[in-house]
Amino acid sequence: MDPVALNPTHAVSPSAFAALLGRPDTPFILDVRRTERFDLSPSLLPLALRVAPEDLPTWLTGRPPQAAVVYCVYGHEVSQLAATRLREAGWDARHLLGGIEGGEPDVDGPELLHGLAASPAPLIRKRPDLGVTGSGGSRWITRAHPKIDRIACPWLIRRFIDREAVFDYVPTAEVLEQAAHRQAVAFDIPGAPISHQGERCSFDTLLGAFGLHLPALDLLARTVRGADTDRLDLAAPAAGLLAVSLGMSRRHADDDHAMLEAMMPVYDALYASCVDQVGGNAETHNWTPQ
């Protein structure tokens, strides 16, 4: 197969890809690696949905055009051809420069390889034990009446791990039993795969479980930890997050999913603020009335 000509307008760099994450409008992320390479790899890109290249035409059937980032192993013909097919179907599709491996030695130029190595794309671990394999639709379950960790974790999953994840809230005494019954992953309760570890909260445990290492997420984790463990000195926004979470919980006392939906924009905003701080672009409110 002849490589599709590389057009810079149809490629996205790893750093530009990372900037698309943590937002409600993140494009579809499609993993189109050939089956043997996909099966051998322990990793995915955040939010990636696995679509074998030969299955792409069928997968496209009936789907309305959207924005998408497509990646393969090295960012060559497999992902470029898939992105071209998506654009032909009306999608706003780009391929990830360098693919998941960050380019191919002895094929890509040294300057490109150096740039990709200096700023690699973020990855997550495949976790079949947690229902995350690239197929989407993982299921999670926790205690009812969420406040902080039980909202922060679903936000993290939806924005960085599995946008199609489903969340259940049940009485505390039923969580582990219902997890087995519903084939769901329990979290934020003792005995669950994802829960508090020492001074770290479930949000921290979730980051570690998937190997998510982004400076802005690390910063956000301090805020979540401070608010969730009553250590408000850990981060300046922790007290605000606690207050907003308690207020929203009161407003949505009878509907935990409504509470989750109401808090998603709050965490989107907190993450955006963390991105700005890490990038040296933090905005302060400094107006002084005369």
In angstroms, the CA 134 to CA 34 distance is 14
Q: Which helix (H) or strand (E) holds 84?
A: helix 77-88
In angstroms, the CA 84 to CA 75 distance is 13
Q: How confident is the model over 197-220, as pLDDT tens digits?
A: 999 999 999 999 999 989 999 999
User: What pLDDT was estimated at residue 3?
Assistant: 38
Does position 271 have pLDDT exceeding 50, yes or no? yes
Q: What average pLDDT does the structure give for the chain?
A: 94
Q: How confident is the model over 56-106, as pLDDT tens digits?
A: 999 999 999 999 999 999 999 999 999 999 999 999 999 999 999 999 999
Does position 35 have pLDDT exceeding 50, yes or no? yes
In angstroms, the CA 53 to CA 95 distance is 13
Q: What's the rounded mean pLDDT across residues 40-51?
A: 98
* Residue 198 backbone phi and psi in degrees, to 5: 60, -125
Choice among 127-131, 203-207, 276-280 with the minimum mean pLDDT: 276-280
Name the pLDDT band for 239 (thresholds 50, 70, 90).
very high
**pTM of the full structure:** 0.93
What are the structural domains, with CATH classification, of the chain? 8-122 (3.40.250.10), 129-278 (no CATH)
